[in-house]
Chain A
Amino acid sequence: MLALDGIAKHFGGIRAVDDLALTVAKGEILGLIGPNGSGKSTTVNLICGLYPVTAGRITLDGRDITDLPTHRRLSEGIARTFQNIRLFGGLTVWQNLWVAQNAPAHRKERGYLARWLGGSKQAREETGRLLDFAGLAHRKDELAANLAFGEQRRLELARALATRPSLLLLDEPAAGMNAEEIAALDERIRELKRQGYTIVLIEHHMELVMAVSDRVCVLNFGRKIAEGTAAEVQADPAVRQAYLGTA
């Protein structure tokens, strides 16, 4: 579904991502791990178009999206969450979801005027389902800035889903969560997989990555050093060296 072909991102002399090739199959959960500064977040930023690539090609379902601007990648079906939460703090919970309904299908469902002024009944029902999924139905009129940390993470995930993506990029969704919240997140990610979403999961919380990922890819210094099932990767000496500094 998603294919990165030799992509690179250099910031001045720093090679944040270097000649990285990666594929994600439809319906798969790919875990992307690596020590701090290994290029995971940069990779996600390249996929969703926040940075232009220095070299290489990105294709989605065979279409070249390397040069598409960020807002257009959404119509190709890419959505993401952020490591440092980026909600619209001054909007209410449901407005956060409502304003994200910009998929091509959404635009078609709304009339031209409704596109600017209001929403359809369909859109409201869809928002309701997302609120239920995120467990936020009872807080729908609260300002997003007033939500608790865990609730904000859930809202951000729901907002990503509101754009009707096929590919979800989750950037450290478990950061700052307690064990109970991580267990709920684990269940939520599995549910998304059952619903047919393709997911790229960046995470430092190894237990979660190893538990839910179909495949794990390990980055270090912007390069791929290992790829395989959770067990294969954990046994790989290069991975142990990257994390522990010794072979």
Chain B
Amino acid sequence: MIDLAQSIVDGVLFGTTYAVIGIGFTLIFGVMHKINMSFAAASIAGAYSGLLVFLLWKTAPPIVVFATSAALAGLIGYAIYLLCFRFIPIASPLATLMSTVGMLLLVDEIIVHLTAGMPLSYPAIYDGYPIELGQLILRVDLLLVFLVCLVAMAVLLYLLYRTRLGIATRAVAQQPVAAQLCGIRLTQVNAITFVMTGTLGGIAGAMIGASVGVLSPLLSLPLTVKGLIVTVIGGLGSIPGAIVAGLLVGAFENVFQMWRGVTERDMYVMLLLFAFLVFRPGGLFRIAGARD
């Protein structure tokens, strides 16, 4: 029983990274009405790019690596916008799907090429002792990952709901034609959305690297799948849905990892996806009318 509770706690804490990745997918879908398949791979690439700091500064503290990861991931997000969306005919439903799948593979190839396919160690966010709460053990590094992701989400929600930039972004998501006639530049808002979600993804990627301890190109495909699952379970286009679904998927996979082992756990996550697609295709938070 205590094992179960322990797995759920660890899973929920780590699940915030899935929530952040899910928000990225959902936000881009909200604004572009297109799936960006390369988002999770770009987030991992962002985490990798943070390691570039060590080329200039051998003893850089982890926080500098994380911040660089986030910033460069924003840049990667912009590059993906330019390559996969800006000049691709948006009316064709398949074109951007193809371009972003291509980008996913390209990003992975670049990582494999540059690192010779070897995992690289990533700085930990904390390497002290865990906190003991009765029989429960709280991993401080996961707790910090949880807090960082929470802050990142809070900042994003503030931007989206309280600032002109965010409100313009939501206006574009809801009514692109009218938004243009209100003087809002679609290409500018779209580009900013990609930079914002890219940065967010970089934070998630850095936090994943920090809690796993290594970065490997093998991380990006499972993360892509989990990001998509979170988006489906939460309801495509719903930010609160992505948050709840992220925590849920985190807990779910960790429980199955405990029961069935790490090699089997992702199969059960997939089954969860199918269960949702059959019984609740709109996701937890169905917002069919308002795309927001």
A residues engaging B (CB < 8 A)?
A: 48, 50, 69-71, 74-75, 79-80, 82, 86-91, 95, 98-100, 102-103, 114-119, 145, 159, 162-163
Contacts and interface: CB of A to CB of B under 8 A. Distances in A.
B171 interface: yes
A117 B183 contact: no
Interface string B170-192: 11001101111111111000000
B164 A98 contact: yes
A106 to B, nearest CB: 8
28 contacts: A48-B181, A69-B180, A70-B181, A71-B184, A71-B186, A74-B182, A79-B181, A87-B178, A88-B171, A88-B174, A89-B289, A90-B170, A90-B174, A90-B290, A90-B291, A91-B167, A95-B167, A98-B167, A99-B171, A99-B182, A99-B184, A102-B184, A103-B183, A115-B164, A117-B165, A118-B164, A145-B290, A159-B182
A117 B290 contact: no
A47 B45 CA distance: 45
A119 B164 contact: yes
Given A75-B183, A90-B170, A99-B182, 18 more contacts: A69-B180, A71-B183, A74-B183, A79-B181, A86-B177, A88-B175, A89-B290, A90-B174, A90-B292, A91-B171, A95-B167, A99-B179, A99-B184, A102-B182, A117-B163, A117-B164, A118-B163, A159-B182
A163 B206 CA distance: 42
A159 B184 CA distance: 13
A117 B180 CA distance: 19
Nearest to A106: B183
Contacts of A70: 180-181
- For chain A, what secondary structure do more than half of its interface residues adopt (helix, strand, loop), or is it mixed? loop
Given A88-B175, A90-B174, A99 B167 contact: yes
Most chain A CB within a 10 A radius of its CB, from B167, B175, B180, B183: B183
The 3 A-B pairs of least Cβ separation, nearest first, read A102-B183, A74-B183, A100-B182
A91 B181 CA distance: 16
Nearest to B185: A71
Contacts of A79: 181
A147 to B, nearest CB: 14
Most chain B CB within a 10 A radius of its CB, from A88, A95, A119: A88
Most chain A CB within a 10 A radius of its CB, from B163, B164, B180, B291: B164
A116 B163 contact: yes
A116 B174 contact: no
B168 interface: yes
Contact of B175 (A69, A86, A95): A86
Nearest to A74: B183
Most chain A CB within a 10 A radius of its CB, from B165, B181, B292: B181
